[in-house]
Amino acid sequence: MCMSFVEARRRPTRVVRASRGETVMDEPTRPCCFSRYVRIVARTTFAVVNNLYCIPAYVVWMMALRLVRPLCAPLYWKIEGLMYHWLLAMVSMWSWTAGYELIETGDEPAACNGRRTLVLANHQSTADVPMLMAAWNARPGVLPNLMWIMDRVFKFTNFGIVSVLHEDFFIQAGKANRDQSLEDLRQHIHKFYIPLARQFIVLFPEGGFLHKRREISQRFAEKNNLPKLEYVSLPRAGAMKVIMEEVGPQVDQGASTSKDNSRKDDNFNQRNAKLIIESTVGDSIDWILDVTIAYPDRIPLHLQDVVCGIRPPCATHLHYRLYPSSDVPVDTEGMTQWLYDRFIEKDKMLEEFYRTGRFPTKGSGPHLARVVRQDNLRFLILHTFFIASTYLQFLVARSIYEWLW
């Protein structure tokens, strides 16, 4: 184990002089942790600067293009999705350069391309979202066409303005806000998810981090004769129920949640007619992509690790399972049980992973692992674009200021 920097400065190095056989005290050696501290400070500084020339550049471009959005909405959202992907690529670069490798196993998510897909993932820490961003950054067409469902607190972070402009959905936690949040989600689906032809919608059904939810989940399981889960918590089905009611496979069969909701949806579409993009995806969700995130030694990475590189390089595993959306029962009780079954499976898979180092495979098929590779040249080009954008926007702002004053 590395000694602290202060301890190292107090501990000189012993050197034996061969000619006389005597021991003298040489100059103190450079501590082994010093370079690590320098690297952490350098990475943190870079991440701050990276935010300063990327996020404002994105916001300024989007606000400028927003003036012409009523005239060419499809082009606006095409550009917005592209730049949104570029921003998430910056986050992907942070974990990639810190040595946090991603390994994918299970079903191939490429089967979802061009299809509306509900993504269900377990939630352990603040690194879950950056890890998914990094995994999907290498897959063309995923991040620009994705809508996150995240806690409202995220809205007030540095990346919050980006999610607001991208029309992600912010859900309010707590029982008091649950019904209103679900109704807001229902409206958001018809106001943005459908008109903007988003393909993927990402949901963390547990409703919070595992370390905060495990004890509550186990008490609930004991009261309701359900399995006590150790590696995940029992999910909440409210948000999934709303999503499946509004864009589930039953929509194609003419099913409707209620006449009142239909009238609301019509009003939303009328008010946002100029936002509607000619969709190349279906009207309803075709696939459920179940993602199981496993960190090494059951110790999750955190956002500070991704940004600062505090934890030594390691590999995070993502295991995919695909289910046709038609497998999900329509009734509330059946849908809730289906979701419980998925997380009970996750718990068993994670137990085996932490015991053997591998996820269980379907049948007797081979265990195929896919290492996610990032494109360093692309990162360089994107940095150049954002730096040039920031410089250009600064020159324009200075010119306007000088003209006004």
DSSP result, 191-204: IIITTTT--EEEE-
| pLDDT of 57 | 96
Q: Which of 35, 93, 160 is nearest to 386 (CA)?
A: 93
Residues near 42 by beta carbon (within 8 Å), at least 6 away in sequence: none
| pLDDT of 113 | 86
d(CA 253, CA 247): 11
CA angle 44, 90, 62 (to 5 degrees): 115
| pLDDT of 143 | 95
Q: What are phi and psi of 179, to 5 degrees?
A: -65, -45
| pLDDT of 363 | 54
Residues of the chain with pLDDT under 50: 1-31, 254-273, 364
CA angle 92, 172, 185 (to 5 degrees): 85
d(CA 379, CA 193): 29
Location of structure tokens 């377990």: 122
List pLDDT tens digits, range 184-236. 999 999 999 999 999 999 999 998 899 999 999 999 999 999 999 999 999 99
Residues near 259 by beta carbon (within 8 Å), at least 6 away in sequence: none
d(CA 218, CA 229): 7
d(CA 316, CA 127): 10
d(CA 13, CA 25): 6
| pLDDT of 36 | 83
| pLDDT of 278 | 55
Residues 144, 148, 154, 157, Cα dihedral to 10°: 0
Q: Where are the extended beta strands (E) located within 7-74?
A: 14-17, 22-25
> Are the C-beta atoms of 162 and 59 separated by less than 8 Å?
yes
| pLDDT of 260 | 45
If you ran DSSP here, which 8-state letter would residue 173 be given? P
d(CA 215, CA 195): 40
Q: What are phi and psi of 320, to 5 degrees?
A: -105, 140
Q: Write down the domain spans for the chain.
A: 70-373
